[in-house]
Amino acid sequence: MDTLRSRSNIGGSKESLAARRRAPSSSSTAQANWIIENFEKRECSFFISSSKDPDKCGCGKWRNQHSAVAFQGPEERYRGSRDQKWIISRHTLSTPTDAFGTIEFQGGPHPHKAQYIRLSFDSNPADIMTLFENLIITVHGGISNFDIQPKLARVFRKAARTTGAWIITSGINAGVVRHVAAALEGATESRNNKTKPKIISIGIAPWGLLKKKDDFIGEDKVVAYHPHSFSPKGRFAVLNNRHSYFLLVDNGTNGRYGADIILRRALEGYIVKKQKIDGGERSVPVVCVCLEGGTCTIRTVLDYVTNYPRVPVVICDGSGRASDLLAFAHQHVNQEG
């Protein structure tokens, strides 16, 4: 918890979640109140039948999973007209967050804890941004399981340990995240060695995609989490236990990827821009590392190199699929001049 610092001196923003939580003079009630005042969740407030099933809403939830709010008003409001399309901005309701606290991962060789909070996808980066002192490595890649070359794992681990990086991933225990977590495991366990920089990993995951997400609901809650007890089958996901913090991003949908993308890009863009710190200005470098991946990874890379602020991208040639394709294309373009 000492790694995160107050951001009250950056652009007039409020103190970080971690700073509030660690302050000895703050009561538990005051900490919870601050979080509730600054962060929101999103829930479907308008039941609209999907085109495939009249009992399933466009948000991804079944009819009986909705609150009474989604059925209030005239009958035509929730009749589920096929002419109406479910839209996040129009058919969700923002209310104060109801889920934050500590995750205690169970079943591993070593006990591990992580802080978490449920927050809306359009949360202000200034409210969630903590003072990153070093390089930010944001990792994108495949969500399915694949093998990675041992040499790549060693290089990634060495780079992160050398820079004392903050690693941002999707936080989901699958695909590229598992490889990154495994590569950094040895480095993370060396935190007690004060001569080596610390590595902090942040998982930005979709709230609606989590298995048993209701277990996280509660204020300042301690959740005993057993990632190995969940079945690997199904569309819902499990959190990876090698992360220090989780931002569980809510856009009102259920069982879908994508809620995290907008917030993650906004946060990374906020980080890379110059911030006023103690009267001066500095920018925190952000680098995207691409391992394997599919069509979504290619789109993400395009956004990084074309949108402002631009983010440099490191493609890991040899990791497979999208990464190999991008590396081949880049090499071919260079050869052609």
At residue 136, the pLDDT reads 64
All domains of the chain in start order, with CATH: 40-95 (no CATH), 96-336 (3.40.50.450)
At residue 129, the pLDDT reads 64
At residue 50, the pLDDT reads 85
pLDDT digits (tens, 9 = 90+) for 121-165: 999 887 876 434 455 667 765 555 545 667 666 766 666 666 667
The span from the CA of 267 to the CA of 127, in Å, is 10
Higher pLDDT, 7 or 233: 233
* Residue that is written with structure tokens 């402002």 in the block: 308
At residue 198, the pLDDT reads 67
The strand pairing partners of 172, in sequence order, are: 239
CA distances from 126 to 42, 89, 90, 185, 287 (A): 19, 21, 25, 30, 20
How confident is the model over 266-295, as a mean pLDDT?
73
Most confident range, picked from 198-202, 245-249, 316-320: 245-249
Mean pLDDT of the chain: 76
pLDDT digits (tens, 9 = 90+) for 174-217: 877 887 777 776 555 544 555 555 677 889 999 999 998 999 99
How confident is the model over 300-315, as a mean pLDDT?
87
* Residue that is written with structure tokens 């290089």 in the block: 155
| Residue pair 128/17 in contact by the 8 Å Cβ criterion | yes
pLDDT digits (tens, 9 = 90+) for 31-52: 788 889 989 999 999 899 888 8
At residue 6, the pLDDT reads 34
Percent helix, strand, coil in the chain, to 5, is 35, 25, 40
